[in-house]
Structure 1
Amino acid sequence: MTAGNHSTVTEFILAGLTDKPELQLPLFLFFLGVYVVTVVGNLGMITLIGLSSHLHTPMHYFLSSLSFIDLCYSTVITPKMLVNFVTEKNTISYPECMTQLYFLAFFIISECHMLAVMAYDRYVAICNPLLYNVTMSYQVCSWLIAEVYMIGSIGATAITGCMLRVVYCKAKIINHYFCDVYPLLELSCSNTYLNEVVVMCFTAFNILAPTLIILGSYVSIIASILRIHSTEGRSKAFSTCSSHISAVTLFYDSIAFMYLQPSNGSSMDQNKVSSVFYTSIVPMLNPLIYSLRNKDVKVALYKIIEKRLFCISKDF
């Protein structure tokens, strides 16, 4: 990449979520609330799993990693979006834009594969329970988490590397509230065919490959559950998977709608809505989904609350 590739544009202007002044303050307050809940929920989940010894299991280690990813990619996007609601012109420099794009791609890709790893963990726990402790050892869990982040790093590097080759010499206004691939490609005066192909290929791989793993795991899980004669046993097995299925459905639907389609300026408003869902709403909902549907998490939370209340009452 030569310096001339981006010398014509040193900063961009983010158009934001809406251009209606009367909506700026309500949206600011709404997304501020969403972000606070996201930070508290995900940090709370990480802290709860770290403090509760009986949650030191592979499933909860993966859940803690998922919370970390949700917290990070929400933080990459939301603070800058909040600034956009309270300033007349929200600018972002070229290096900041590319950095935001890189970390967004890194954490989104990592979440795609983390959800697949969590599905595999449930498959081993339900279909091969006697071998679970051997199959999902500490070393295996660590290796799987490292592999997730490695895939995220490779995908983010490839996508961002392609975007660094783009010549930006049109209008500097990005029709979005963050630096995303398709809105940036609309500003290019160079051929973007290669970039679109790379984005489509990486998106297809990072959605379809984990989806196949998840579907394969749950087909086997359902088959095993149906062989359980006890109604209580079936109910317990389904309850351990229901939270994960909910999280997978919410996340993959919004990501697929956003990226598994060609660049189209006329659909950018729809893309903004989809982006809001996976960058702000899903990271907020995941801790709520897992805490409400995971009995072990609820028990651990109740124990910590009872312990804190006991300590407070003892002080008085």
Structure 2
Amino acid sequence: MRTSIIVFVAALVPVLGACSSGGGNQASTSSGAAQSSSTTTTPAQPARPAMVRATDAGWRLPAPLSRPAVSVDGDRVFLLGGLAPGDVSTARVVSVDPTAGHSALAGTLALAVHDAAGAAVGGVPTVFGGGSARTIDAVQSFQNDTGRITGHLPRPRSDLASATIDGTAYVVGGFDGAALTPDVLATTDGTGFRTVGRLEQGVRYPAVAAVGHTIWVLGGQTGTAEGATGTEVDLIQRLDTGSGTATVVGHLPHRLAHAMAFVLGGQLYLAGGRTAAGPLTDVVAVSPDGTVTAVGNLPGPRADAGVAVVGNTAWLIGGETTGPANALASVVALSQA
């Protein structure tokens, strides 16, 4: 969380080769025992992940924005709060139809926040935690053009992310203003929360997405001081929501945070983000075993964008390049090539 001014405004295919053993004049027996045989199996090679095509979408937000919470309802995307130019927290809610390239102000939240997490809970755009002058525990819902505080997290949390599986929203990562919050929470109504697991390494600013019943937590940073540059990690963490077990299954090419994760065609991807040296353009695919494959590049470096998947396209909406004081209004569309 940054302290800021508040303003309300493919299948695996095994190749088998077999050979029989024994001579051609082998006698039969009354026992009916089968002839022995041996089989040689060539290990299957995983299919290479699909490449990604990333292009400028050709439309822009009404105003620059980074670090919003995001909720998706069909083909409609809500950007809730975030940072406006000048490192200013905003309460604005922007409704976006990315396919049509249309966006408009839809209303305001009860509290201006950035670095919060968003999800559709019971079909309602919902914001978990976040911060402005301080890290908060508020859960805000947005209905009828108006935001209301409708619940509270067990403790304050900002710099977090979320993923939704079968109607359950999971709150992942972040910190409480002083310490990392590695516990992963689940809710179906935005008011009651249960702990389903604990990250092997707590992180702020992770990229998070769900594939099936698994939550993937990519990168992030471990420092709790403002900025905390240099504490980025390269960890690929995987949480089984059924067992609650979290494990580190691989490592990214860079230590990074503030990146964007999304799923297209059942494949997990990671785009952009920031290292201690600056923002990235890389797009990589992350396989179930933690293998990372380069699959494309963004048109330019980008971090802290709102990310939404609508149909077969992932949208990176707004974001930052040089830092929170210089938010972006541009949009990038990504699809499998």
Shorter chain as normaliser: what TM range?
under 0.3
Q: TM-score, normalised by structure 1?
A: 0.25
Between Structure 1 and Structure 2, the one with more helix by share is 1
Say which structure, 1 or 2, has more relative contact order (CA 8 Å, 6+ apart).
1
Greater Rg over alpha carbons, structure: 2
Q: What is the TM-score when the length of structure 2 is the normalising length?
A: 0.24
More strand by share: 2
